[in-house]
Amino acid sequence: MLERIRIILIGTSHPGNIGGVARAMHNMGLADLALVAPRCEVITQDSISRASGADHLLHQANVHATLEDAVADCTLAVGASARSRTLPWPMLSPRELADRLPTECQAADSRVALVFGREDSGLTNAELQRCHAHVHIPTNADFSSLNLAAAVQVLAYECRMAWLNQADSQANAPAPVPSADDALATHAELERYFEHLERTLIGIGFHDPDQPRQLMARLRRLYLRARPERMEMNILRGILSATEKAANTKPPKP
């Protein structure tokens, strides 16, 4: 399960924080580190020193230009958010997130991304809307700011506890074999669907991109909450293609 969990850092500005994150991950048995558009050098004396023996995670970390690239193969993306947003999104506590992990990581091709934002400004609304759910660490309201590595440590600990609990409960139980037909759509497949959906809605005159009124954000929240399977995603894409075809062949109004 731990091998299927990816820690993603967006726009990190201090090498020491990246090193601290690597140490927190290695402490808890996580190894998949991805960086999105870092604003600093990754491999420095400071980052290696803060990693305290976990610098191999720094050397093997994947660097991406966009969040979409970093989560393309993921079936669940959860964004760490310290504050509420104008459009409410499914919100989890660290413990609730951990409780979901055994099921989320059941399939061989499943990947879970835990996404952390910039030290100074966190995740943007657009980045949070790329996530299926948000996780909030319930800190002291009078002093809620967490160091990046500390935030990762909290979630990494919960991931490890979920893994240990799963190992205890399933020590003598046969592992379930999920059906290939039940495989969840990946983040990349969902993004292609959202692009197709927006193009179709514009084409039939239902969506005006000049006056969006949060339509696509609300539809994105709906489908991310529904967690469609690949077969279901193929059906939805087929409906959109049929809609486009019907709209293009419909005789013009007199």
DSSP code per residue over 149-178: HHHHHHHHHHHHHHHHHHHHHTTTSPPP--
Q: Which domain holds residue 16?
A: 2-169
Predicted confidence band at 169 (pLDDT cuts at 50, 70, 90)? confident
153/60 same-domain check: yes
211/141 same-domain check: no
**What mean pLDDT comes out for the span 155-168?**
92
CATH code of the domain covering residue 213 = 1.10.8.590
Q: What is the mean pLDDT of the chain?
A: 90
Q: Is residue 175 part of a domain?
A: no
Last-in-domain residue among 110, 136, 169: 169
**What mean pLDDT comes out for the span 141-153?**
91
Whether the per-residue pLDDT at 106 is higher than 90: the answer is: no
For residues 46 and 145, which has the higher predicted lDDT (pLDDT)? 46
Closest CA to 114 of 35, 7, 243, 205: 7
Burial readout 207-242 (b: 16 or more C-beta within 10 A, e: otherwise): beeeeeeeebbeebbebbeeebbbeebeebbeebee
Contact call for residues 39 and 11 (beta carbons, < 8 A): yes
57/147 same-domain check: yes
Whether the per-residue pLDDT at 223 is higher than 70: the answer is: yes
For residues 247 and 171, which has the higher predicted lDDT (pLDDT)? 247
Total number of domains in the chain:
2
219/124 same-domain check: no
Could you tell me the pTM of the whole model?
A: 0.84
Kindly report, residue by residue over 64-74, the tens digit of the pLDDT: 999 999 999 99
For residues 89 and 196, which has the higher predicted lDDT (pLDDT)? 196
Kindly report, residue by residue over 173-202, the tens digit of the pLDDT: 555 555 555 789 999 999 999 999 999 999
CATH code of the domain covering residue 67 = 3.40.1280.10
Q: Is residue 174 part of a domain?
A: no
Last-in-domain residue among 169, 196, 215: 169
Last-in-domain residue among 169, 194, 214: 169
